[in-house]
């Protein structure tokens, strides 16, 4: 909320108009695109939509805005005095507040992004979201920072609700999704998680495995237009099961060592042992293998596949997540969005099976 606008309620419309004039003259709002919606601006300033409407009327009367019926308000290009190209100075990397010290997921992503930002003198701001939406009350501080345009671009490293994307679009904030697959026409960089499952399944079948336990992350992250990694992996293993007559049990875990360990203790020691085990991430692999050690079993004797984040040899077979490329490609794409060269583009990155097998200690 912008508190200086609230100090003199009787002058709020005039104050707002003056502020918009300065922003219009500075070239903040492109003349070829509509201004942000009344709802988005009301959210930004913490005031009513009717107040925004009154300010827009004043600006239109003074020739700063053109109101086009059904299309919105557009800036009068003659009022723009400074037409400098918008440059990235501050970028926010936004992720769910679920990553623990045991979780390697963000490490290679940030290792790729950080030197690119450093080379171009761009400040990176790491912001963690409570829950799954920027629009929830507990994320008001971050939402305010975005609405106030403290960042020229956003890298979304976790799948925010689609309502959040609509809100960002209304603010005309450049962003790139570097996370789960959105079934939307937005700029996004994806990992081919289905391919990872196929690589794992084929490798295990070649080694004679017929009964798998597949430990994934939370399928509950699936929401409107969002397909999480776990869903892609489960769907691909399900196809393999139907095609090859395999027996596959799916175990959904949080991205948490203790949760993965507890899930493994609950399902892996109550009957016939599995031939093979698949892990979606380092932290899940470590938790599951710790359960075997606790039960006195030797993890190096197991046939395991880890779709790894950062540590290459936790399991017998290891499939590399292209997280480094996810970071570098999403940064490059964000620059393209900011320049106006990219509207919506989907880049799909391929995981890689590490050819040399190594048993973990």
* Residue 64 belongs to domain spanning: 3-79
Last residue of a domain, which of 79, 110, 139? 79
Residue 85 resides in a domain? no
Residue 1 has pLDDT above 50, yes or no: no
* CATH for 67: 1.10.10.10
Q: What is the mean pLDDT of residues 2-9?
A: 47
pLDDT of residue 86: 60
> Is 53 inside any structural domain?
yes
When divided into structural domains, the chain yields a total of 3
Report d(CA 187, CA 175) in Å as an integer. Answer: 7
Whether 49 maps to a domain, the answer reads yes
Distance CA 306, CA 304 (A): 7
Per-residue DSSP letter, 166: H
Range in 37-41, 208-212, 251-255, 287-291 the model is least confident about: 37-41
227-258 per-position pLDDT tens digit: 999 999 999 999 999 999 999 999 999 999 99
Of 79, 103, 125, the position where a domain reaches its end is 79
pLDDT of 134 higher than 60: yes
Determine phi and psi for 65, rounding to 5 degrees: -130, 150
Asked if the structure places residue 54 within a domain, the reply is yes
Does residue 331 lie within any of the structural domains? yes
Domain boundary among 50, 79, 108: 79
Taking alpha carbons only, the member of 107, 84, 85 closest to residue 95 is 107
197-228: per-residue pLDDT in tens? 999 999 999 999 999 999 999 988 888 899 99
Whichever domain contains 343, its CATH number is: 3.40.50.2300
Task: Say if CB 277 and CB 266 are below 8 A apart.
Answer: no
- Residue 305: pLDDT band with limits 50, 70, 90: very high
Closest CA to 102 of 296, 242, 310: 310
Instruction: Answer yes or no: do 72 and 109 share one domain.
Output: no
Averaged pLDDT, 58-73 = 83
As a whole number, mean pLDDT of residues 19-40 equals 80
Residue 301 has pLDDT above 70, yes or no: yes
Give the closest residue to 168 by CA, choosing from 126, 134, 129: 134
Residues 232 and 122 in one domain: no
Whether residue 358 lies inside any domain: the answer is no
Do residues 231 and 243 both lie within one domain?
yes
Helical axes 140-147 vs 162-171, angle rounded to 10°: 30
* pLDDT (0 to 100) of residue 357: 58
Q: Are 269 and 295 in contact (CB under 8 A)?
A: yes
**273 in a domain, yes or no?**
yes
Task: State whether 330 and 272 are in the same domain.
Answer: no
| Contact status, residue 314 vs residue 308, Cβ threshold 8 Å | yes
Q: Which residue has the higher pLDDT, 103 or 182?
A: 182
Domain shared by 205 and 293, yes or no: yes
Q: Check whether residue 274 and residue 197 sit in a common domain.
A: yes
Same domain, 63 and 116: no
Residues 198 and 245 reside in one and the same domain: yes
Instruction: Indicate if 114 and 181 belong to the same structural domain.
Output: yes
- 66/242: higher pLDDT: 242
Q: Highest mean pLDDT: which of 9-18, 129-138, 196-205?
A: 196-205
> Looking at the predicted structure, is the pLDDT value of residue 158 above 90?
yes
Whole-model pTM over 0.85:
no
Check whether residue 128 and residue 109 sit in a common domain.
Answer: yes
Residue 5 has pLDDT above 50, yes or no: no
Is residue 155 in some structural domain?
yes
- The reply to whether 198 and 298 lie within a common domain is yes
- Position of tokens 């904030």? 173
Mean of the per-residue pLDDT values for the chain? 89
Cβ neighbours of 301 (radius 10 Å) = 10
**SS3 of residue 27 by DSSP:** coil
Phi then psi for residue 154, to 5 deg, are -130, 140
What Cα–Cα distance (Å) separates residue 357 from each residue in 86, 127, 197, 224, 313?
49, 37, 17, 39, 8
304 and 213 both lie in a single domain = yes
């Amino acid at each position: 909320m912008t508190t200086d606008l609230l100090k003199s309620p009787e002058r709020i419309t005039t104050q707002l108009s003056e502020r918009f004039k300065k922003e219009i003259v500075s070239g903040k709002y492109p003349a070829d695109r509509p201004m942000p919606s009344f709802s988005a601006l009301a959210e930004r300033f913490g005031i009513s939509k009717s107040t925004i409407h009154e300010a827009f009327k004043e600006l239109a009367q003074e020739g700063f805005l053109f109101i086009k019926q059904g299309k919105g308000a557009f800036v009068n290009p003659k009022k723009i005095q400074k037409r400098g190209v918008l440059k990235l100075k501050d970028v926010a990397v936004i992720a769910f507040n679920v990553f623990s010290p045991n979780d390697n997921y963000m490490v290679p992503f940030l290792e790729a992004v950080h030197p690119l930002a450093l080379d171009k003198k761009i400040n990176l701001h790491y912001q963690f979201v409570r829950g799954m939406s920027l629009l929830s009350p507990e994320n008001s501080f971050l939402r305010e920072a975005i609405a106030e345009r403290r960042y020229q671009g956003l890298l979304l490293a976790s799948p925010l609700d689609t309502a959040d994307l609509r809100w960002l679009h209304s603010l005309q904030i450049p962003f790139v999704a570097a996370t789960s697959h959105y079934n939307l026409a937005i700029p996004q960089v994806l990992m081919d998680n289905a391919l990872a499952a196929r690589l794992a399944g084929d490798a295990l079948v070649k080694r004679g495995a017929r009964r798998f336990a597949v430990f994934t992350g939370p399928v509950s992250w699936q929401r409107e237009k969002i397909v999480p990694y776990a869903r892609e992996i489960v769907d691909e293993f399900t196809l393999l099961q139907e095609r090859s007559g395999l027996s596959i049990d799916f175990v959904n875990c949080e991205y948490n060592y203790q949760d993965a360990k507890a899930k493994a203790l609950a399902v892996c020691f109550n009957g016939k042992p599995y031939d093979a085990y698949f892990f979606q991430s380092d932290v899940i692999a470590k938790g599951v293998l710790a359960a075997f050690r606790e039960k006195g079993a030797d993890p190096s004797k197991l046939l395991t596949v880890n779709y790894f984040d950062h540590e290459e040899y936790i399991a017998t077979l290891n499939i590399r997540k292209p997280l480094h490329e996810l970071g570098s490609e999403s940064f490059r794409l964000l620059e393209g969005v900011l320049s106006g060269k990219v509207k919506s583009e989907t880049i799909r990155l391929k995981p890689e099976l590490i050819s040399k097998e190594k048993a973990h200690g």
